[in-house]
Structure formats: C-alpha cells, structure tokens
Amino acid sequence: MYLEKLVLQNYRNFDCLDLSFCKNINLIVGDNAQGKTNILEAIYFITSGKSNRTNSIQDLVKWGKNFVLFRAILNEYGEQDNILKDYIQNNNILSVNKDNNSHSCYDKDSGSNYTSQANTNKKLIEIEISSDNKYKIKVDRVYYKKKSDFTFILPSVIFSPDNLALIKGSPSFRRDFLDDVLEKTNLDFYKIKNDYQKILNQRNSLIKTLNTNIDVKNNATLDIWDENLIKYGSEIIYRRILILSNIYKLFPKILIEFFNDIETEIVYNFSWNDKIYFSEKSNGFEESNYKKFLDLPKQKALESIRDIFSFYLKSNIFKEVNANSTLIGPHRDDFNVFFNERDIKLYGSQGQQRIAALILKLCEVDFIKRQIGKNPVLLLDDVLSELDILREQTVLKIINNNTQTFITTSNNNYINDIKDFKLFKGNKGIEIKKFLVKNNKVEII
Ligand code: ATP
Ligand code: MG
C-alpha cells in the first residue's frame, strides 16, 4: 500500500495542496522555510493521527483560518472496494467550502483523473479539524471514533533532525520511541500504556500522602495500585524487550554499511538498575544475558518480570515516600546504544549519533513490516544534513525499494545526484518523483 494522493486545505503555510505521489521515492526540494517539513508532518498526521511536531492540533491550522482539512488516497493491491466510484460520484465529502475566502482544492479532483484508475483499490482517509478542536475522521466515508482505528491502515515512520534526541535526549524520548513502535504494531498497547499511566498517577498521589512506616504497611490501597502497576508495567517491559531484541537483530547489519569497524551493543536499563545487553560478543562487556527473558514462553517471561518488579517495588517504597513519587517501573527505564563499548550519547560524534538514530528508525520500518505485513511509508526530513558524501549515498542505497519514501532536502545538488538512479539499490523500475516547494506552492520538477 502507498500514499497516492494528498489533498490539504488551510494546512500550515499552504492554502491548498493537491499532490500525487509515486510509489517509490518522492523527493521534496526547496529553500528553507518553504514548507517541506510541513508536508512530511501532514503525511505523518494522516497516517498516524498525530503530529510529530506538536501536541496542539490547532497548530496545524493555517494562521487566520478556522479549519484544516487532510485527505489522503491510499492505493492498495489485492482488495476490492467501491470507494473510488463513490468518490467520483460525491466529491463533496466534507464541506470544505465553508470558508468562502479560501478556494477549495478539492473540486478539481473529481471525475476523469480517477476513472482511469477505477480498477485499482483505494482507501480514502479524511481528517477535518475545526477551530473548536472538533476532530472528524472518516475512512472510506465512515466516521471513525478513535485514531487507533485507522492508524494500522498505512503506518508511517518519520525521521527528522529532532530525532537526534533519540540518542542525545532524556530517557523519555527513547521510551516513547519503543512505545510508539508498540502502538503501531499492537492493537492493545495503547490501552495497556494508558492503564499503566492512570495507575501510576493514582499511586503517585497516594505516595504523596504517606509519611511513616505505619502508613506503608498493610495499606490496602497501595497494595492494589502495586498489583496493577506490576501487571501492566510487566507487559510494557516485556514488549519493549521483545522489540529491542528485534531491532538489535538488524541494527549491526545496517550499521556496517556506514561504519565497518564498529561493534555495537544496545542496553536496556531497568529502573531497578539491572540491565539487559543485546550484544554479539561476550568479551569486554558482560556476557549477553538478554535471553533470560526472551527464551522463555511469554507467560513464564511475564512471571519472571513481575517477580523482579514486585521485589524492587516493595523494597524501594521508603525511598519512594521520600521522593514523593514512584521510582520503580517502565516509566523510569531507558536504553542506550554503544559503539565499541562506549555510550554514543556521551562519546559518539554528531554524525554517528544521527546515523544511530536513523538506523533505529530503519529498524522500526523493518519491524512494522514483519509484524503487520505492511510496508510503512518512510518520511526522511533533512536526513542528509551533517552526513559526508559517502554516508549520504549509503542512506540512498539502503532505502528499501518496496518502501514508499519521502525525502526533503534544501540541497539542489542532491537532485542532480539523485538523477543518477544507480544510487538506489536494484534501481530497475524505481520511480522517482521530484517536487519543488516555493512560495507556498508545490510544483513537479
Ligand atoms: P527548512 O529547510 O528550514 O527545514 P522547511 O521548508 O522544512 O524549511 P517548514 O518547517 O515546513 O519549512 O515551515 C515552513 C513555514 O511554515 C515556516 O516559515 C513557518 O513559520 C510556517 N508555518 C508553520 N505553521 C504555520 C501555520 N499554522 N500557519 C501558517 N504558517 C505556518
Ligand atoms: Mg524543514
């Protein structure tokens, strides 16, 4: 499946955009501040239901306007549906003309463009956000209540300069990365995470009221929160470890394309100071012990995690009372990437850190693909900045041909490089489409 068409109205710096993409490489070129990143954000938004840049959806509405409209046509193979016919017959699905000052970019989408493709299978996703923060989502013209209902249709993975935080930033960036992948690949994860967060908040509130030994002992409410914290928390930990083990299977293989003399480890750090090493070697570092959970059947692994979690939760309660908060649990876990036994957060070069963050994202693409059987859309914002020419070319070579990819750049030379299709692995039949973003408009070049 791939994103065939994107129509935007009153979105960020654009009045109207109507873009048809190709199924391989879409290159978005333009000077600074023209809207390249905005376009990737829109694609991420319509495929995931959230922005990668803001939590306030009003930021997406063009300044001075009172609604924003996103419409995407996804092209899928194999399944038959009637959406296209309906689409042609009724091209006023959302009342986009309510703002008289803005011209609608929707009308020109009707009819002939689509009849020629009527034998292919499409999905239509529409999101409209109005100034009162009302959020309407439709898939094939049926209203969807929850974002999670449609985010599995066409998952996306975005890599932007902000993702350096995956290596350099606080642990929450790395936890969010893992949890985000889990959300994209497990229907129930959002709820598990939500339940954990609620219990954590309640437990934290309770802990703030506790002062003494007597308060803590035989406190039935605390026992209930502990039990649930352990239940949901262990599930989160188990799934994160599973994901990291999958990521680690691919990580060194991609890394070698960039640096052939680096051995890498990934280390999951528990809130209780234990670690799991994902490592190929046994000297230098402690012998890899990650199999201790992963070799067990799920229920057994969960039991082991629960036991350890429970032990540390109980033994740290006085510390927690002093700190006024819960110190044990997946909300305090972290992971780190090591190159040649050194934490790259502290010792890696800027380029190494960016490459490590990029590889994590490429591993995410692979994981999603294997987990849900769909190639996610890959969005690479400014991926080439700070990379030397050799490594720029490596990025292009390792992009998977089957993954629809969007690349932004302000470097015009890059267009010339990319004209040389050989940069792409197995270049036969790879489509490349180039767009120039300028003066709040986009043209094909
Ligand atoms: P660079 O090459 O510097 O990364 P870019 O092409 O990626 O630039 P964007 O980040 O997409 O640029 O931003 C383009 C412009 O959109 C910015 O000047 C920004 O001020 C503007 N902008 C952001 N949000 C809105 C909004 N809601 N309404 C109008 N303009 C907006
Ligand atoms: Mg940008």
pLDDT tens per residue across span 254-309: 999 999 999 999 999 999 988 888 887 644 344 445 556 777 889 999 999 999 99
2-155+378-444 folds as: Rossmann fold (3.40.50)
The number of the ligand nearest the C-alpha atom of 33 reads: 1
Q: What is the pLDDT of residue 386?
A: 75
**Which parts of the chain register pLDDT below 50?**
78-104, 106-119, 282-288
**∠ CA 25-31-33 to the nearest 5 degrees?**
105
Could you tell which of 29, 32, 38 is best to mutate to test the pocket of ligand 1, judged by most ligand atoms within 8 Å of the CB?
A: 38
- Residue 41 CA to ligand 2 center (angstroms) comes to 10
Q: Please give the Cα distance from 152 to 189 (Å, whole number).
A: 13
- Strands of 264-269's sheet, edge to edge? 275-278, 264-269, 334-339, 342-343
- Residue 37 CA to ligand 2 center (angstroms) comes to 4
Q: What is the pLDDT of residue 100?
A: 37
- Count of alpha carbons within 13 angstroms of residue 150, beta-carbon side: 26
User: For the domain bounded by 168-353, which CATH number is listed?
Assistant: 1.20.1050.90
Question: Which of these, 378, 379, 389, 380, lies nearest to 351 by C-alpha position?
Answer: 389
Listed in sequence order, the residues at least 6 apart from 225 whose beta carbon sits closer than 8 Å to its beta carbon are: 199, 202, 203, 206
Tokens of 333: 């876990």
Q: What is the pLDDT of residue 349?
A: 94
Nearest CA to ligand 1 atom 2: 32
**What stretch(es) of the chain map to CATH 3.40.50.300?**
2-155+378-444
Q: Please give the Cα distance from 178 to 435 (Å, whole number).
A: 32
Does any ligand 1 atom lie closer than 6 A to the CB of residue 64?
Answer: no
Q: Length of the chain, please?
A: 445
- Residue 344 CA to ligand 2 center (angstroms) comes to 25
**What stretch(es) of the chain map to CATH 1.20.1050.90?**
168-353
- Residue 327 CA to ligand 2 center (angstroms) comes to 38
Does any ligand 1 atom lie closer than 6 A to the CB of residue 445?
Answer: no
Q: Which residues pair with 137 in a beta bridge?
A: 127, 144
Residue pair 15/9 in contact by the 8 Å Cβ criterion: yes
Token match 């041909």: residue? 401
**∠ CA 417-364-295 to the nearest 5 degrees?**
140
Query: Helix count (H) and strand count (E) of the chain?
Result: 15, 16
Could you tell which of 8, 15, 34 is best to mutate to test the pocket of ligand 1, judged by most ligand atoms within 8 Å of the CB?
A: 34
- Residue 160 CA to ligand 2 center (angstroms) comes to 8
Residue pair 96/39 in contact by the 8 Å Cβ criterion: no
- Residue 386 CA to ligand 1 center (angstroms) comes to 21
Does any ligand 1 atom lie closer than 6 A to the CB of residue 376?
Answer: no
Q: What is the pLDDT of residue 280?
A: 78
Tokens of 158: 């975005």
| Mean pLDDT of the chain, nearest integer | 84
Residue 426 three-state SS: coil
pTM of the entire predicted model: 0.88
Termini Cα distance of the chain: 25
Residue pair 219/210 in contact by the 8 Å Cβ criterion: yes
Listed in sequence order, the residues at least 6 apart from 321 whose beta carbon sits closer than 8 Å to its beta carbon are: 207, 210, 211, 215, 216
Q: What is the pLDDT of residue 426?
A: 53
Tokens of 105: 């970019």
